[in-house]
Amino acid sequence: MITKDDNELVYEVIHGNISSFEILIERYQKTIFNIVLRMVNDEETARDLTQDIFIRVYEKMGSFKFSYRFFSWIYRIAANETINYLKSAQRIELHKLTEKLVNEADSGSEREETIQKLRKGLRQIRPDLRLLLLLKYFFGLSYEEMAEVLQLPEKKIKARLFTAREVLREELLKNDFFDHDR
Amino acid sequence: MTDKKIKDLIYRSLEKELTPEEQQNLDRCLATHPGAARLYKEWDQISDQVNREKENLVNIDLKQAILSRIDMKKYAQQEAKPEIRITTALWHRPQVRYGFYFLMGVFAGFLLFSFLKVDITGSKVQTQDMKGTLYDSRSFDDMKVADNILYESPLARAVFAVRYSTKIVEARIDLSSLYPIKTTVEFDFNNFEVLNVQNVSVNDQTTAMAASNFLQINNVGDNKFIVQLYNKNSLQHNIDFKIYQNDLPLYQNSVTVNKE
């Protein structure tokens, strides 16, 4: 079976073939959901936001420029939607509440505890910096791809990522993440 | 080495982007700089946890939930545009693409050939200096004067202005007579040939006819003709102009062309 590339599927969607959109959902839902989940730290919210992102993608597909790569376009929509969500004051309150609940629920093995500390550290940094770390370390995007997704020059991406690493380390230090803290 | 440089090396090392030389530098630095070694260890630990976290990616299936929320008819009306698809598919066929490139090549070659045919040598020669070209031969002002003949009597008036070039002999004939007269231009068909008789200003009663070795004009009133003869060689030859009235000669004269 020939695997169609993303742009070909987009072409088919905007010409009425809804099953091509199903393939795109299958291809990207896991990545998008996991980025969003690590951004909002709540599975239910991440689920809703991921759905919203795909609906947004479907609605905007008619204006997709075929000179772009689809993955960078969908990641950009996901990034914007999530950051907009987090920017809302109400959401931040909810976010804090969720954080509290998650912290209370932290328990289990040492390994699990370390992962929870890492997650907590990530939650405590600015969403835009967090997104950069997620794209780079969790989803393995290159600097070039990150620049394409976030529509920023590569040099700026590198500089921001440097800051993001510094901030994350500071937060992890506060959370006694490192072995030498013990 | 500054802190920022060390950090940069550490980060790039974790991303496996260091050259062997940079890696050596970093190793040296880690051995001598306790702060750097500590930072490296910390990032190694972060990296480790991130890799573990990557294994925890949550699988999810939101397909049905998403599909139930979208307007499936949004793009449905555009389904009836298969011609675009066909065009795209056609373009991707090698025969079509290479055929198009071939035609473009032929067209480009044709254009190039057309441009190259244009005089691009930057020649400053004026057209009137280019002897022997048809353009120059037809330009009366640039021709050499053979003779200007004027005949004037109470019965008739005639002017024959004759000029020549290497290829053309042109005679401008003005005739004026109250009664019918016959004018002939006679020549040797081995040397000349009638190319064109142009009625510049001719009335209804006047006629002109050409044969291989002469031209005859039956004139009444005021008329003007331009007669062009093909000058077959560059030797000197005479052209005779004669005027008759009632078949009686009134006037006769000769003009010599190719004098030099």
Residues of B in contact with A66 (CB under 8 A): none
| pLDDT for the residue numbered A105 | 47
Mean of pLDDT over chain A: 84
Residues of A in contact with B78 (CB under 8 A): 14-16
> Hey, are the CB atoms on A51 and B74 less than 8 Å from each other?
no
Domain of residue B29 covers: 3-55
Residue B47 lies in a domain: yes
B146: domain CATH number is 2.60.40.1170
> Which residue on chain B is closest to A170 by alpha carbon?
B42
DSSP calls for A92-120? HHHHHHHHHHHHHH--S-HHHHHHHHHHH
| pLDDT for the residue numbered B126 | 59
Q: Domain A1-105, what fold?
A: Rna Polymerase Sigma Factor; Chain: A (1.10.1740)
Residue B19 lies in a domain: yes
> Hey, are the CB atoms on B75 and A62 less than 8 Å from each other?
yes
The answer to whether A103 and A120 have CB atoms below 8 angstroms apart is yes
> Which residue on chain A is closest to B73 by alpha carbon?
A16
Read off the pLDDT of residues A63-116 as tens digits, 9 standing for 90 and up. 898 888 899 999 999 999 998 888 874 555 555 555 544 554 445 577 778 888
B68 close to A (CB below 8 A)? no
SS3 call for A90: helix
> Hey, are the CB atoms on B67 and A18 less than 8 Å from each other?
yes
Residues of A in contact with B59 (CB under 8 A): 30
The C-alpha angle A74, A76, A82, rounded to 5 degrees, equals 100
User: Among partner residues A14, A34, A111, which is closest to B75 by beta-carbon distance?
Assistant: A14
Residue B62 lies in a domain: no
Pair B48, B155 in one domain = no
Structural domains counted in chain B: 2
Pair B50, B148 in one domain = no
Kindly report the nearest CA distance between residue B16 and chain A, in angstroms: 12
A104 close to B (CB below 8 A)? no
Read off the pLDDT of residues B225-252 as tens digits, 9 standing for 90 and up. 999 999 888 889 999 999 998 888 889 9
The reply to whether the predicted model has a pTM over 0.80 is: no
Pair B243, B139 in one domain = yes
In the predicted model, residues of chain B with pLDDT beneath 50 are 80, 133, 135-137
Q: Is residue A125 over pLDDT 70?
A: yes
Residue B204 lies in a domain: yes
B52 token code pair? 């573990």
Boundary of a domain, candidates B38, B55, B72? B55
B16 close to A (CB below 8 A)? no
Boundary of a domain, candidates B55, B82, B98? B55
Pair B41, B151 in one domain = no
B22 close to A (CB below 8 A)? no
Interatomic CA distance for residues B176 and B151, integer angstroms: 10
* Domain at A109-182, CATH from 3.90.180.10, 3.40.605.10, 1.10.10.10, 3.10.450.350: 1.10.10.10
Helices (H), A2-136: 6-13, 18-40, 43-60, 70-87, 89-105, 110-123, 127-133
Kindly report the nearest CA distance between residue B101 and chain A, in angstroms: 23
Q: At a CB cut-off of 8 Å and minimum separation 6, what does B237 contact?
A: B187, B188, B191, B192, B256, B257, B258
Pair B140, B42 in one domain = no
ipTM of the complex: 0.81
The answer to whether A121 and A102 have CB atoms below 8 angstroms apart is no
Nearest residue to B232 via CA among B166, B179, B178, B186: B166
> Hey, are the CB atoms on A33 and B58 less than 8 Å from each other?
yes
| pLDDT for the residue numbered A101 | 46
Kindly report the nearest CA distance between residue B75 and chain A, in angstroms: 5
Pair B138, B244 in one domain = yes
- Number of residues assigned to chain A: 182
| pLDDT for the residue numbered A77 | 93
Residues of B in contact with A51 (CB under 8 A): 62, 65-66, 69
User: Among partner residues A15, A177, A179, which is closest to B79 by beta-carbon distance?
Assistant: A15
Read off the pLDDT of residues A17-61 as tens digits, 9 standing for 90 and up. 889 999 999 999 999 999 999 888 889 999 999 999 999 999 999
Interatomic CA distance for residues A173 and A179, integer angstroms: 10
Residue B117 lies in a domain: no
| pLDDT for the residue numbered B244 | 93
Per-domain residue ranges of chain A = 1-105, 109-182
The C-alpha angle B131, B136, B137, rounded to 5 degrees, equals 90
